[in-house]
Amino acid sequence: MQDEDARPAPEALLAEAAAERRGKLKVFLGAAPGVGKTYAMLEAGHARRRDGVDVVVGVVETHGRRETLAQLADLEVVARRQVDYRGRMMDEMDLDAVLARRPQLVLVDELAHTNVPGSRHPKRYQDVQELIAAGIDVYTTVNIQHLESLNDIIAQITRIRVRETLPDSVLEKADQIELVDLTPEDLLKRLREGKVYLGDQASRAVRHFFSPGNLTALRELALRQAAARVDDQMVHYMRAHAIAGPWPVGERLMVCVGPSPSSARLIRAAARIAERLHARWFAVHIETPGSERMDDAARDRLAETLRLAEQLGAEALSLPGTDAAEALVAAAAERNVTRIVIGQSQRSRWKALISASPVSRLLRIAGPIEIHVLPDLEASEKPAAPKPRERRAIDPRPYAWSALMVAGVTGAAHLASGVSENSNSILSLVFIAAVIAAALNFGLLPSLATAVLATLAFNFFFMPPLYRFTVADPANIVTLFVFLGVAVLLSGLAARSRLLAETARKREAAASALYSFARKLAGVRALDDLLWAVVYQLAMMLKVKVVILLPDETGSLTIRSGYPPDDHLTEAERAAAQWSWDHGRPAGKGADTLPGAERLFLPLQTASGPVAVIGIEGEESGRALSADMRRLVDALCDQAAVAIERVALVDELDEASVKAQSEHLRSLLFASISHDLRTPLASILAAATTLRRDHDKLEPLVRDELLATVEEEGERLNRFVGNLLDMTRLEAGVLELKRDWTSMADVVGTAFRRAGQILRHHKVAIDIEPGLPPLRLDHALIEQVLINLLDNARKYSPEGSLITVAVTRAGDFVETAVTDQGSGIPEGERDLVFDKFYRARAGDRQVAGTGLGLAICKGFVEAHGGRIEALAGPGGVGTRLCFALPIEPLAEAPADD
Amino acid sequence: MTEPTVLVVDDEVPIRRTLRTVLETHGYRVLEAATAADALRRLGAERPDLVLLDLGLPDRDGIEVLRELRAWSAVPVVILSARGDEAAKVKALDLGADDYVIKPFGTGELLARLRTALRHRAQSAPEPVFESENLRIDAAARTATVNGQAVKLSRREWDVLRVLVMDAGKVLTHRQILLKVWGPAQEEQTQYLWVYIGHLRDKLEPDPARPRYILTEPGIGYRLVRAEEG
């Protein structure tokens, strides 16, 4: 037994793991006050408490909100510390009281809070860090505007500078971030209903803060923060598990793209630079009002370009802005980008004369950001002949409405002109109103038509000579032209603002569709559930039938899920799906390749290759999908691809960790077996050789001792081999129960007859309840269970102490408990003792044995439909191992006599 | 009395060597066989008084040796076998083996089994009287006394007890007892047997929960022993 120390000690590993335990930080992140962070945190706290976690409230600001108060009602709240600050009593979280209370989880509201001067730490997040260091988990809340790196940009957006800031590192180090999201509409509704606490700030500033525009911007920032965080976690996880991949180090790159066909080359060039720099990179398209006029082909190309960027590892963004250069620099600054890559485009000479090129503007305003200008790589190639602009059929309705409006305004003006003689200036304003209304409602062309119509009407009805298109007074001619000019100008401006609003609305709709899609996929862990979620969501959002195909073990694509469920593929469809998988391009109906198929097949791919193919079957018979829908589908597919890859990656990791675990188990097994076989053999051989060689020189007493050693060690070896064989039988699944009617009393009797010897150094008490029903069991196996339990009790309790065997009835079970007075098993480890090779931590002495015994007990008892558990002994002393076997009704015995 | 001859059938040389040493020390003459064929040949030629038969032989199953042997010989057979092989033991006992010893075994237990097996063969008629400590059973007269006090037993209890007494010291399988008491129709009904064994222990044992005389052989059957031997 001298080699005990050299063996791997699982208990030492356990201790090490326990020492490393730090608390975990979970942050509930919100875009603005009032989104419900505190409520969400309390709800999560309640959920944990229901799971049996010891939860207390460190500090929660209810601001008198009823729901929050109600949530708080039944949680334990640590009383706050009263601090006197310049004559005012202030409340602060009582850090020491929480530390002394030592809960498993503490809820701390408002992470960015600044403590009253004189507190231990100036900032609340420092209190939280101390709690975490003490091994206490913390749930906390924070609003996005408190984040230090976002402070400036948020001040710009909202015109309110937030003084309480939080270092980004605190959020970065959080173990978990939960985004508490509320749409701006809902938040404003809550604000109107008085459900948002605004503090005592000047209310006008606050009202400005809560404008829909600000809230949308803040929400976007919060969403981005949370999304970036997801990626960081993945990167961290991959790195921790030694998965190859690019890691961002400092440098960040942004490439600006447009719909030009050369953008793809630009993206590839940027990808190469990013790879060389190991930089995280972004591909940005600045959506200027002009880009709304892009035709479908250009839009498709742009979407294609951005998707390419994503596949190459970029974060693709599409941002609104009126000035491309300014918007680009702002976007770059917001993301701490260090280099911007743009392409030098061919510009016509006259355009170059009247305005500075975007490139030179960019160079002027970029500040510290490096600008890489790549030549237009496509310049030497003849650009493809511009496609004839798609002729959109003109909708006559806006023009009719415009004409009607002009007529109405003319009527109204006619009445007004009756009131005052010289009222042309007022009348012109009335007409202008009509022009603006047309521009806002119908866009540029109808408003221009309105402007012309209004000018004519103005001239015809109100300028002398009346009811003619001629103008007598030259001054009136000037008036008329100025009027026309103003009308045209205004209609342009108004139409442009309408376009901007329209763009924003579409983007919001697409973004929220994508967000909700991503959110629905995010929580799914199992691949089959994820595939189902993907097809279901796609089918619901696009109103189409969807199937998803993945390669099976043999590598051929098969339908793994579908909504509505469908598993039929025609030959043409199979070919289209395979082509789509192989080439990473769409195929089937509506695509260039194999358009004869019933469905359109789109590849789902990530940077590392294809992960799946989806098949879409539209309702209409013509093209499978409109161009707009295609763009949405492409975006959704990218999300789905990433989600599928993520789940697959997690599966792979699981597999790897299971493998590592079984490797670990195997090495434990070998260590254990070789020890348990060799130790008794070593004793036996040593004793035998001594007896043989030195027989005559040995005192009779010593000889007896050596012989006793041979006998005892032989028995021990025999027990161990028996355990190994039992375990093998259990593992191999060849355990056949040979059940006979017997009683636990009888089993106790035979167990003691066979193995009573091992308890010769202990006191034994047997207590069997009289009148117990018989059991139908495999006597030999249950006898072994009892012997193993007795052997375990013997090993883990001091010699001379009492071991009790008690058999009682417990409902429909007969329960047998073996209780010792040893050192006991720590509460958290009691379920582990039935695991193979588990051995309770050795206290001051090492105990021999493989840790197989109790695992065998569990196997045998469960094979009988029984249960086994480890409990603390009475009064918390020692261990009570107890198994219960089910009582079956006994057939009537045949009549006696 | 001439020294009894024991045929040890086992393919392991160390086991044969150890058994030879032990048995010769205790006054037996020892023959050895390493294979089934060898065993059957020596049985026919040398007519040993007892056979110690290992069930795992290289050429044939020990059970088959037993079956063949029982066709023409009533020589006592004690089976050597490993734990966890209860089915094989029951089969061997039902086929006419006299007893079994579990490997690894203690010498004391082995010698006791051999003695019992030899005694039963030596008796011309089974001994109907069993005596141990304060218990006395006379199966022929149907009287049982504990500490001199007569114990009243039912007819079935007597039937079960008589079977045990007639083969005292020897293991009896459930099937063997059921067959003798209830007949072939009931031979699988071990719960009947369990009930009557319980009754007998209640009436005869000083501590029914830890029996001294009527012992359970897990998975196999019962054995009536003298407390001095158990």
Whether A746 and B84 lie within 8 Å, measured CB to CB: no
Q: What is the pLDDT of residue B124?
A: 63
Sheet strands (E) in A78-220: 81-85, 88-92, 105-108, 137-143, 176-180
Q: Is the dihedral of CA A839, A843, A847, A853 positive or negative?
A: negative
Shortest Cα–Cα distance, B198 to chain A (Å): 9
Whether A780 and B215 lie within 8 Å, measured CB to CB: no
Residue from the list A783, A891, A896 with its beta carbon closest to the beta carbon of B218: A783
Whether B190 and A738 lie within 8 Å, measured CB to CB: no
Stretch(es) of chain A classified as CATH 3.30.565.10:
720-886
Identify the three-state secondary structure at position A658: helix
ipTM of the complex: 0.82
pLDDT band for position A8 (cuts 50, 70, 90): very low
* CA-wise closest residue to B204 among B152, B168, B129, B164: B152
Q: What is the pLDDT of residue A184?
A: 80
Q: Does A707 touch chain B (CB under 8 A)?
A: no
Whether A780 and B208 lie within 8 Å, measured CB to CB: no
Contact partners, residue A320, CB within 8 Å, separation at least 6: A286, A287, A288, A327, A500, A503, A504, A507
From B209, which residue of chain A is nearest by alpha-carbon distance?
Answer: A745
* Helices A627-693 & A296-311 angle (0-180, nearest 10): 10
From A745, which residue of chain B is nearest by alpha-carbon distance?
Answer: B209
From B104, which residue of chain A is nearest by alpha-carbon distance?
Answer: A718
CA distance A831 to A829: 6
Shortest Cα–Cα distance, B18 to chain A (Å): 14
Q: What is the pLDDT of residue A582?
A: 86
* CA-wise closest residue to A332 among A373, A368, A278: A368
Contact A427, A416 (CB under 8 A): yes
CB environment A642-673: b (16+ within 10 A), e (fewer): bbbbbbbbeeeeeeeeeeeeeeeeeebbebbe
Stretch(es) of chain A classified as CATH 3.40.50.620:
252-374
In tens, the pLDDT along A502-512 reads 777 776 777 77
Which residue stretches of A523-551 are H helix?
527-542
Q: What is the pLDDT of residue A311?
A: 72
- Cα distances (angstroms) measured from residue A478 to each of A113, A482, A484: 64, 6, 10
A787 neighbourhood in chain B, CB within 8 Å = none
Residue A655 pLDDT greater than 70, yes or no: yes
Q: Does A864 touch chain B (CB under 8 A)?
A: no
pLDDT band for position A890 (cuts 50, 70, 90): low
Residue A474: half-sphere exposure toward Cβ, Cα within 13 Å: 0
Q: What is the pLDDT of residue A274?
A: 81
What count of other Cβ atoms lies within 10 Å of the Cβ of residue A589? 25
* Residue in the structure block whose two tokens are 């459900």: A195
Q: Does A100 touch chain B (CB under 8 A)?
A: no
In tens, the pLDDT along A730-767 reads 777 777 788 888 889 889 988 988 888 888 889 999 99
B186 neighbourhood in chain A, CB within 8 Å = 894
Whether B86 and A738 lie within 8 Å, measured CB to CB: yes
A748 neighbourhood in chain B, CB within 8 Å = 209-210
Is the peptide bond prior to A446 cis by the omega test (within 30 degrees of 0)? no
pLDDT cut 70: percent of chain A above it: 82
Q: What is the pLDDT of residue A185?
A: 81
- Convert chain B into a string of H (helix), E (strand) and C (coil): CCCCEEEEECCCHHHHHHHHHHHHHCCCEEEEECCHHHHHHHHHHHCCCEEEEECECCCCEHHHHHHHHHCCCCCCEEEEEECCCHHHHHHHHHCCCCEEEEECCCHHHHHHHHHHHHHHHHCCCCCCEEEECCEEEECCCCEEEECCEECCCCHHHHHHHHHHHHCCCCEEEHHHHHHHHHCHHHCCCHHHHHHHHHHHHHHHCCCCCCCCCEEEECCCEEEECCCCCC
* Amino acid letter for position B163: V
Residue A379 pLDDT greater than 50, yes or no: no
pLDDT tens per residue, chain B (230 residues)?
A: 578 999 999 988 988 998 999 999 999 999 999 999 999 999 989 999 999 999 888 888 889 999 999 998 889 999 988 766 778 888 999 998 999 998 888 888 899 899 988 887 777 677 789 999 899 999 888 899 999 999 999 998 999 999 999 988 889 998 899 988 888 777 667 778 888 898 899 999 988 878 889 999 888 899 999 887 65
Shortest Cα–Cα distance, A878 to chain B (Å): 26
Q: What is the pLDDT of residue A897?
A: 44
Q: What is the pLDDT of residue B24?
A: 92
Among A391-400, A640-649, A690-699, the range with the most confident prediction by mean pLDDT is A690-699
CA distance A428 to A407: 14
* CA-wise closest residue to A604 among A564, A634, A561: A634
DSSP A33: T
Q: Does A774 touch chain B (CB under 8 A)?
A: yes
Structural tokens at position A746: 């009888």
A746 neighbourhood in chain B, CB within 8 Å = 211, 216
Residue A384 pLDDT greater than 50, yes or no: no
Dihedral of the CA atoms A17, A22, A23, A27 (nearest 10)? -110
In tens, the pLDDT along A136-171 reads 999 999 988 888 777 777 776 777 777 788 887 788
B103 neighbourhood in chain A, CB within 8 Å = none
Whether A750 and B210 lie within 8 Å, measured CB to CB: no
Which residue would you say has higher pLDDT here, A526 or A206?
A526
Least confident of A11-15, A79-83, B32-36: A11-15
The DSSP string of A52-85 is T--EEEEE---TT-HHHHHHHTTSEEPPPEEEEE
Residue from the list A714, A741, A752 with its beta carbon closest to the beta carbon of B210: A752
CB environment A798-823: b (16+ within 10 A), e (fewer): eeebebbbbbbeeeebbbbbbbbbbb
pLDDT band for position A843 (cuts 50, 70, 90): very low
Instruction: Please determine, looking at this structure, whether the domain spanning A252-374 carries the CATH number 3.40.50.300.
Output: no
pLDDT band for position A567 (cuts 50, 70, 90): confident
Whether B83 and A743 lie within 8 Å, measured CB to CB: no
Shortest Cα–Cα distance, A174 to chain B (Å): 56
Whether B209 and A738 lie within 8 Å, measured CB to CB: no
Residue from the list B86, B174, B208 with its beta carbon closest to the beta carbon of A780: B86
Which residue would you say has higher pLDDT here, A873 or A732?
A873
At CA A22, angle to CA A18 and CA A25, rounded to 5?
Answer: 145
Residue A356 pLDDT greater than 80, yes or no: no
Q: Does A820 touch chain B (CB under 8 A)?
A: no
Stretch(es) of chain A classified as CATH 3.40.50.300:
12-240
Q: What is the pLDDT of residue A841?
A: 44
Which residue would you say has higher pLDDT here, A52 or A388?
A52
CATH architecture type of domain A12-240: 3-Layer(aba) Sandwich (3.40)
Residue from the list B191, B218, B230 with its beta carbon closest to the beta carbon of A774: B191
Q: Which long-range contacts (CB under 8 A, 24 or more apart) does A458-466 make?
A: A458/A427, A458/A428, A458/A431, A458/A483, A461/A410, A461/A413, A461/A414, A462/A413, A462/A417, A462/A424, A462/A427, A463/A424
Whether A750 and B215 lie within 8 Å, measured CB to CB: yes
Which of left, alpha, beta for A297 (phi over 0: left; psi -120 to 50: alpha)? alpha
Residue A95: half-sphere exposure toward Cβ, Cα within 13 Å: 18
* CA-wise closest residue to A860 among A774, A754, A747, A778: A778
- Cα distances (angstroms) measured from residue A363 to each of A167, A285, B12: 31, 18, 94
How many residues does the structure list for chain B?
230
Mean pLDDT (whole number) for A103-125: 87
CA distance A406 to A514: 42
pLDDT cut 90: percent of chain A above it: 6
Q: Which CATH superfamily is domain A537-656 in?
A: GAF domain (3.30.450.40)
A764 neighbourhood in chain B, CB within 8 Å = none
Q: What is the pLDDT of residue A816?
A: 95
pLDDT band for position A892 (cuts 50, 70, 90): low
From B157, which residue of chain A is nearest by alpha-carbon distance?
Answer: A896
On average, the pLDDT of chain A sits at: 78
Whether A779 and B218 lie within 8 Å, measured CB to CB: yes
Whether A740 and B194 lie within 8 Å, measured CB to CB: yes
* Helices A263-277 & A296-311 angle (0-180, nearest 10): 20
Residue A577 pLDDT greater than 60, yes or no: yes
In tens, the pLDDT along A270-316 reads 888 887 777 788 888 887 766 666 777 777 788 778 877 877 778 87
* CA-wise closest residue to A771 among A825, A818, A807: A807
Which residue would you say has higher pLDDT here, A626 or A792?
A792
Stretch(es) of chain A classified as CATH 3.30.450.40:
537-656
Residue A844 pLDDT greater than 50, yes or no: no
Q: Does A70 touch chain B (CB under 8 A)?
A: no
Shortest Cα–Cα distance, A709 to chain B (Å): 15
Contact partners, residue A700, CB within 8 Å, separation at least 6: none
Q: Which CATH superfamily is domain A720-886 in?
A: Histidine kinase-like ATPase, C-terminal domain (3.30.565.10)
CA distance A192 to B1: 116
Strands A176-180 and B50-54: unpaired
B209 neighbourhood in chain A, CB within 8 Å = 745, 748-749, 766, 768
> To which H or E segment does residue A26 belong?
strand A25-30
* Residue in the structure block whose two tokens are 């862990």: A525
B198 neighbourhood in chain A, CB within 8 Å = 743, 774
Whether B218 and A780 lie within 8 Å, measured CB to CB: yes
Please give the domain boundaries of chain B with CATH numbers for all domains.
5-122 (3.40.50.2300), 129-224 (1.10.10.10)
**pTM confidence score:** 0.45
Residue A236 pLDDT greater than 70, yes or no: no
* Amino acid letter for position A34: G
Structural tokens at position A600: 């359109």
